[in-house]
Amino acid sequence: MIDTASGADRPAYHVMAPAQVVAQLDVDPDQGLSTTEAERRRTCFGDNRIADEDRFRPLLLLVRQFTDVMILILAAAAIVAGLIGEVTDTVAILVIMVLNAVVGFVQDFRAERALQALKSLATPTVRVVRDGGVTTVSDTDLVPGDVVLLEAGNIVPADMRVIETSDLTIDEAALTGESVPVVKNAAASLADDAALGDRVTMAYKGTLVTRGRARCLVVGTGAATELGHIAGLMRERERPMTPLQKRLASFGRWLSLAVLGICIIVLAAGLLRGEPPLLMVLTAISLAVAAIPEALPAVVTIALALGAKRMAAEMALIRRLPAVETLGSVTDICSDKTGTLTENRMRAERFILANGETRSTPPPADAPDWQPYLLAMALNNDVEPRAGGEPLGDPTEIALWQAVEAAGVERRTLLRDWPRRLEVPFDAGRRRMTTVHAGPNGPVAIVKGAPEAVLPLCTRQHGAEGDDMFDRPAAEARATEAAGQGFRVLALAMRDLDALGDALDADEVEADLTFLGLVGMVDPPRAGVKEALDLCRSAGIRVTMISGDHPATAAAIAMRLGMRDDGDRVLIGAEVAMLGDDQRRTIIPETRVVARASPEQKIDIVTALQASGRIAAMTGDGVNDAPALKQADIGIAMGQKGTDVAREAADMVLLDDNFTTIVSAVRQGRRIYDNIRKFIKYTMTSNAGEIWAIFLAPFVGLPLPLLPIQILWINLMTDGLPGLALSVEPAERNVMARPPRPPGEHVFAGGMWQHIVWVGLLIGGLTLGAQAWAYHAGSDNWQTVAFTVLTLSQLAHALAVRSERASLLRIGLLSNPLLLGAIALTLLLQLAVVFASPLQPIFKTTGLSAVELVVCLTLPLIVLIAVEAEKWLVRRGLLYRSGDEVPGFAKTQAEVEHQCAKREARR
């Protein structure tokens, strides 16, 4: 029975010998399957394609846009506004609802195309052995047991066991995160639990053959491949609600109860006082409608859209609008190493001569001691230079070639003077490559390979005055030290030959070698990443490297970037899998480096952070990153070197593949959330002022200060233009000098609800005070005075809430010209309602006297002064001090600001 299950249920084909796999799959590797048998197996196992479960229905997705609590409340408000004759309010609310639904639908629709990108990774045709001959078939026709012939340039069409290989090298970075192409070895002996990146006997669907040839047996197709397994993981992932969505949902539930309570209390109070029932019903309904900030979805949408536009200008493309705000709440960034923190290319950075002399830059070509060393790097190399472009070849050899160029060596001249005559290609078993050249003084053999494969063959070492005795222990110690620092180490050796024959006996030539030295290569950190990590630390954001690479390599890169100290634990993916849920929640948040992580383990890491109450971002560029990108609170993909799968699964794409862009995006995210809070603070305080005025008027012996039409006018004017203008408020100066907001923090935290209560009471008190002054003075304009004071007090409040801590003088009166324009326009419209005779009958207003107008313009300034005094107390820590902090963070606000100040001083 052929078993092609995926994941842990699949037979350990990477452990089996080729003969065992052949027996398991019941196939002759020389004859292949018969056409009849292949068709039978295709009927049994299905096409070699990744199934796309049609759970994504556009109509259902559109309907979901109208199920949010705030949207339902707005729908009720639209109905109520229509019943009381306020058609304008009804239309405005419906337009806001439709706009919000369309934006959400478009963003979610685009975010569900990851599976299509996964399917596009397969090649259209593949060479297979069937009926004893080689033929070409569609990749979808492959079945378990097919014998496939691979060669350089092929994309591997299915999961396969390598049974015969000739220098087969496969780039698996997109699947495993391994930065160096993997040399495959059909005869290697592996453990059952070998990580995906260590399975040198296997070739996996979607990876790229960079060199060599191979004969392979298909062991998994379609969903039974590792790529299909990743697709399954992505289908299982549901995008989590963003922090803003959670906070607004909670806000909506709270508001619905508050609105109902307002209706009952105001109606009951009015009826008990003897007011006309119809008037009180209309007043209660109007006040309830006014209490709902119907502009909130529009403000949120506009703020997110403008933020997305700014981020695009800074090379960050937002694919889902809610992700803009999520960035501002991020506490942890789980970053892929290869291509994200590093450049995803090899670079020679450690040059060690046989005598131990070490350089971090290429030695000059005219340095006598280094000339044989450079000669070996240049000649034992298969790179093909291209004019005006990147050279073609293996990344390791490209790194050597570029080092030779940087040293000033004319490689073309060398190739002319030292033509290659014979070669023994790199082989996974031998782990070295040998070339023979016809030199000016006779033939020379040059050997390059892993230190453990080259050093045992050396008997001498190159010295300044000729060859010396080979100090093998010293050479091995230097190689081990460089490897421990994260370098991929190669050894260089050469031998003068007596004659050049027609054939090359590898055992004879690769003996009695002269050791030239070692060269260490590394996938270097991207420019600016270290500084970006410093910014993350100052902003209270923890960064964890999650890589499919070797633990030593990942640890060394983390050390270079300052992400970990010597001795800090490096967690292995297999260890993550063995941890219990409680252990993950305690260990993973304290871990800075995770190596050899599989797609499932990346998901486990993100889930553990979320379970511990943190907001996790995940960056990545490979297919193996896609499920975790979708699981994370915000997935961030690389736009240049990233795969289509990763980009489609992500919420944000870095167009420049620069980790530093994330920091700019976080700044925008924090700014947007701050502005949404400012709008909520502003509009709910304004609504509270209206409620206090109407609720308290009967208790102080005053008639109702406002009519229903006046309530709706205030609601439309003050929540409209000034409220929207607050959404474009510039970022506060300390926005990146504070820890992230605690993930569980309510939208009213940080003293907001207290502010809403007391400032609302102040506005209501000023309104009633002005009303009482005019009413007891016998003025017929008492209701217009109350109406105007309430409106202008809210405008004064809009100026005051532009910052939660900084004074208006510090942030600058002119730093948000849109808000000033909105306030000026609202003031003119209010004066028009009061003094324009065509509007007076509609809004039941009367023209004010000069004294009354001065009072109406002066009293609102008290609100501005009072709020500025509140901020003065907040800055001194005398108000709204909270002990809340992000889970796992001991850093205080003072420590964060101190770090930020030091960074600014360095600049």
Is 336 catalytic? The answer is: yes
pLDDT, mean of residues 37-56: 78
pLDDT-derived band at 122, boundaries 50, 70, 90? very low
pLDDT, position 115: 39
Q: How far apart are the first and last CA of the chain?
A: 68
Q: How many C-beta neighbours within 10 Å does residue 236 have?
A: 11
DSSP letter (8 states) at residue 781: T
pLDDT greater than 90 at residue 123: no
Which residues sit opposite 266 in a β-bridge?
none
> What ranges in 153-242 are assigned the alpha helix state H?
173-176, 226-236
Interval 284-300: pLDDT, tens:
765 666 566 655 666 67
Task: Give the span between the Cα atoms of 727 and 723, in whole angstroms.
Answer: 7
Mean pLDDT score of the chain: 82
pLDDT greater than 60 at residue 407: yes
- Within its chain, how far is the Cα of 59 from the centroid? 29
Question: How is residue 195 written in tokens?
Answer: 């990580």
Interval 740-767: pLDDT, tens:
877 667 777 888 889 999 999 999 999 9
- Of 88-97, 472-481, 531-540, the range with the lowest mean pLDDT is 88-97
Amino acid identity of residue 76, one-letter, is A
pLDDT, mean of residues 377-389: 81
pLDDT greater than 60 at residue 3: no
- Of 51-55, 263-267, 488-492, 708-712, the range with the lowest mean pLDDT is 51-55
DSSP letter (8 states) at residue 738: S
pLDDT, position 101: 64
pLDDT-derived band at 899, boundaries 50, 70, 90? very low
pLDDT, mean of residues 81-98: 66
Say which residues have a Cβ less than 8 Å from residue 382's Cβ, sequence separation at least 6.
Answer: 393, 394, 397
pLDDT, position 245: 60
Full DSSP string of 11-68: --TTTS-HHHHHHHHT--TTT-B-HHHHHHHHHHH--SS--------HHHHHHHTT-S
pLDDT greater than 60 at residue 794: yes
Interval 186-228: pLDDT, tens:
988 888 888 888 899 999 988 888 788 899 999 999 888 888 8
Say which residues have a Cβ less than 8 Å from residue 14's Cβ, sequence separation at least 6.
Answer: 161, 190, 194, 199, 201, 202
Task: Give the span between the Cα atoms of 589 and 518, in whole angstroms.
Answer: 38
Phi-psi region of 478 (alpha: psi -120 to 50; beta: other; left: phi over 0): alpha
CB 537 within 8 A of CB 353: no
Question: Which of 336, 523, 651, 674 is an active site residue?
Answer: 336
Question: How is residue 319 written in tokens?
Answer: 């694919």
Task: Give the span between the Cα atoms of 251 and 229, in whole angstroms.
Answer: 39
pLDDT greater than 60 at residue 898: no
CA angle, 634 as apex, 118 and 884 as ends, to 5°?
Answer: 160
pLDDT greater than 80 at residue 606: yes
Interval 614-669: pLDDT, tens:
889 998 877 777 788 888 988 998 877 766 667 777 888 888 877 888 888 888 88
pLDDT greater than 80 at residue 13: yes
pLDDT, position 478: 96
pLDDT-derived band at 309, boundaries 50, 70, 90? confident
pLDDT-derived band at 886, boundaries 50, 70, 90? very low
DSSP letter (8 states) at residue 341: I
Question: How is residue 346 written in tokens?
Answer: 């090899």
Q: What are the contacts of 20-29 at 24+ separation with CB within 8 A?
A: 21/161, 21/163, 21/217, 21/219, 22/163, 22/217, 25/144, 25/145, 25/217, 25/218, 25/219, 26/2, 26/145, 27/145, 27/146, 27/147, 27/217, 29/129, 29/147, 29/163, 29/164, 29/215, 29/217
pLDDT, position 342: 82
The larger pLDDT score, comparing residue 121 to residue 352, is at 352
pLDDT-derived band at 853, boundaries 50, 70, 90? very high
pLDDT-derived band at 175, boundaries 50, 70, 90? confident
pLDDT greater than 80 at residue 516: yes
pLDDT greater than 50 at residue 883: no
